[in-house]
Structure 1
């Protein structure tokens, strides 16, 4: 399962590059994080980094991604907004202001919620007839 990660704001390309480098440091995610670029606008030098694509295969990659994303957000200063889009077009939005002030228990819960959402999506993709009970 591949997820797409975009950043919003004036520094979005810098944030995406920083996040890409941060996630690539994780052994479980090494080789699974790629930049999605669009061609340069006329009169500019080089392509524009629009998003990151993260291939989440085994369960360890899902956990590493959730943990890495939240940890990276905690290191950010200012207004950083990240949107993770899943293959079914549902999305999850996170921002640094809400994550930076979390205590340890709340932080662990946030990571668990992100990992759970990604795992459920991954399981549903593996078995399209599998449905969540109400």
Structure 2
């Protein structure tokens, strides 16, 4: 998974459509709107452009952890397939699936990732 130097990245085990569905889900969440995006991709002459394999979360002011955990948990609960979501920041990675999405450690682990200093390990 791509690590964007201190930024929280999110990747899904599904195809790129699942990633775009998750992005649309976050765009519909007032607490996360504008905080989650696709990273810029490089386009070279003769290329149509790359599909992104991750979402990037703008880490900043406090309070994002619970909002991200609740929204991600709700999204996972809407998925019909057994999809996994991987979150990574500064070399620390956690993975969740629809079966673990409501567990209390889900919120704690996301908050721990967001509390990581902005320097890669």
- TM-score class normalised by the smaller sequence: 0.7 to 0.9
Q: For 1:99, what is the secondary structure of its paired residue? A: coil
Larger Rg: 1
Q: For 1:36, what is the secondary structure of its paired residue? A: coil
RMSD: 2.9
Can you give the 5+ residue segments of structure 2 that lack an aligned partner in the other structure? 1-5
Of 11, 14, 36, 2:39 maps to 36
Q: Does 1:4 align with 2:6?
A: no
Can you give the 5+ residue segments of structure 1 that lack an aligned partner in the other structure? 101-106, 129-134
Q: Does 1:69 align with 2:72?
A: yes
Structure 2 vs 1, CA of residues 51 and 115 (structure 1 numbering), >3 Å: closer, same or farther?
closer
Aligned length: 114
- Deviation, 1:55, is 0.8
Q: Render the CA deviation track for 1:38-72: whole Å, top value 9, x for unaligned.
A: 468xx986531211001121222222111111111
Please identify runs of 4+ aligned residues in structure 1 that moved more than 6 A: none
CA contact (8 A) 1:7 1:16 kept: yes
The structure richer in strand per residue is: 1
- Deviation, 1:33, is 0.8
1:51-70 paired onto structure 2 within 5 Å: 51-70=54-73
TM-score, structure 1 normalization: 0.68
The structure richer in helix per residue is: 1
- Deviation, 1:36, is 2.8
